[in-house]
A = this chain, B = another copy of it.
Amino acid sequence: MSRMALVLAYDGTNYRGFQFQPPAYGPTVQGEIERVWQKLFHETVRLIPAGRTDAGVHAAGQVVSLNTEASIPACKLPKALNSLLPRDIRVLRAERAAADFNARRDARWKRYDYFIDNARIPDVFARLYRLHEPAPLAAAEMQRAAVLFQGKRDFRAFAAAGGAARCFIRTLYHCRVVVAGELIQIICVGDGFLYKMVRIIAGTLISVGKGKMTPSAAAAALAAGRREGAGMTALARGLTLTHVEYGLQAPSALFADLAPNEWEKF
């Protein structure tokens, strides 16, 4: 028996989320991979993901761990699995891991990106991967609010009911709004995320962008710790789990344009 890590990309559009559910509820990413594994290696495995993405949420760099007796070289696994997986799920990499490696517990930080198409008419080719918001958004205001969310704090105001967390303290290393033409991208990097947290951050920043809430009111809503004070939960479709870090790369390495002392406070 040995521990294995897989790096995955998937288009979440057609899935009821990452986590296995009985087939009557529709396909799941976990269900597809475990089914293909069974077919290839006649072995039942259970995947542990770094982040349990919800229905409709995408991943460009999800990581899962599993136990296997299969003797296939790790470097041959992606091709073998991809040959049987649906085209909207790809195994990007596979590695033998330490016997105690756990993709969820050992993640040092994760990065999620929320994409907003702020054009009057949405880009048809990106429609599955972006929220379309035709009302003009004030991105500079959104960015002013986003930085106020950064830090180690109680994020219960940004957690949807139904999550399993008992502790609501998380460190949001980075929350930033980047604009490229009519595309608005919200980048969230943290040591952990509560249930639907990034989508609530996105919904709150959209309220700010529309002028319905000031940046300081958004910060106050977070501090007050009541879900009702924050914005709506933005649609799943705009969200992608971009990266999970286990190694030594600091979250700040992604954002070399930030002064180092901006990181020291965390």
Contacts and interface: CB of A to CB of B under 8 A. Distances in A.
A213 B134 CA distance: 49
Interface stretch (A84-92, A170-178, A200-208): A84-92
A125 B82 contact: no
B121 A78 contact: yes
Nearest to A9: B124
Interface string A66-110: 000000000000100010000111111000000000000000000
B92 A11 contact: no
Nearest to A11: B124
Contacts of A92: 121
Interface size class of A (residues with CB under 8 A): 20 to 34
Nearest to A123: B9
23 contacts: A9-B123, A9-B124, A9-B125, A10-B124, A11-B124, A11-B125, A11-B127, A58-B125, A60-B125, A78-B121, A82-B121, A87-B122, A87-B124, A87-B127, A88-B124, A88-B127, A89-B124, A90-B121, A90-B122, A90-B124, A91-B121, A92-B121, A125-B129
A121 B127 CA distance: 23
Interface in A123-141: 123-125, 127, 129
Q: In the complex, which of the residues A82, A89, A90 has the most CB atoms of chain B within 10 Å of its own CB atom?
A: A90
A129 to B, nearest CB: 6
Contacts of A121: 78, 82, 90-92
Nearest to A129: B125
A129 B58 CA distance: 17
Contacts of A125: 9, 11, 58, 60, 129
Contacts of A124: 9-11, 87-90
Interface string A114-125: 000000011111
A91 B122 CA distance: 10
Interface in A235-266: none
